Structure 1
């Protein structure tokens, strides 16, 4: 699934609680979460596990972005050795922690990944990035190929551990594919005849380390399911009365 699908499911289950996607640079994502500007986010690992909870989701394919008429486009995939003689751009916001950057170094490092994309289009050099960034900054005159032995970047759903609200739990359940009736996650309101006002809360998401989201508003009704920290309404049923034992004759 993609964040857009998760948002759609959220809107179906919690139509009274808006969920807003907020795009931020990958390096700024932890600070956005710490400041409370987003409630949860899709961030690039690693994160500070003494402060954040994190659920690893997937590992991205690493690609090299090249002009469409570059010789590399003749191959379906390449290796770092294939890039050894190429000028490779390493922007200051590079998400990879290279021990030894491959290729020939450029005259100077671009400030950002979008700046590096512009230089690729100008035939200044090539750029190695996670596939999501190649798609995000797609241009008609550029394409990309997988780099099979390059470092990879993993994505996780993360949020401040001390800020695990009911609505954050709801979003975690959606991302993990739980159904609306799952016993591990909260669900939407019961029918109107049984609904009661609920408390106001927030929840959110951050996409691929490049965007964040925030939701706010009031939810109504009692949660039908139970999960860690979730409240459920209603009283437990009373046990059936037992009759007196009969004496054997």
Structure 2
């Protein structure tokens, strides 16, 4: 009974202490109102106009849907009506005056001949200085100056040097070719002397000769065997002779 009374008293004491107990830090004051945060305040300030449904601007909306296919074909018809139709170009009849072609050619050839004659006359008379006064006003005197002579001689000298260089090059190539051929011959002769093996042509000839000899030997052996076989068959008695014996 004493122990039971003691347990009851302990339980009652614990209940009293629990009722009279207080938390060391009051957490009710530390809680912040979520509506008082800075982020929520700025959000409300920025998006506050959305809550106001009395807008002053109301755009016009066309509820009807246009027929795009019909609009396209209407545009095509309109462009066809606007298109300018150009008339085709028609060739006009004309006449080729080919009959006058020979006369024109004759006149041109005569003009060329006259100009050549005048140039020859001017060249012949340009060699003599006193004859310059007798030339007509349309012809110009032709002089061969020292510069032209030097230029011609330089060109001639350059061409001759070029020809000589080409000849020397051809001669050098032929000489080198002959040297190469002689060297190749000497190398081949020395290689044949030092190399115990025979050339391909010689080996081919020997092989062909050997093959022919082998073929002849085989044919001889075949003929010999054939003759022996025929002789055995000839000397062999018939079947009825073997039975009677």
TM-score by length of 2: 0.15
Specify which structure has the higher proportion of helix: 2
Question: Structure with the greater relative contact order (CA < 8 A, sep ≥ 6): 1 or 2?
Answer: 1
Which protein shows a greater Rg? Answer: 2
Specify which structure has the higher proportion of strand: 1
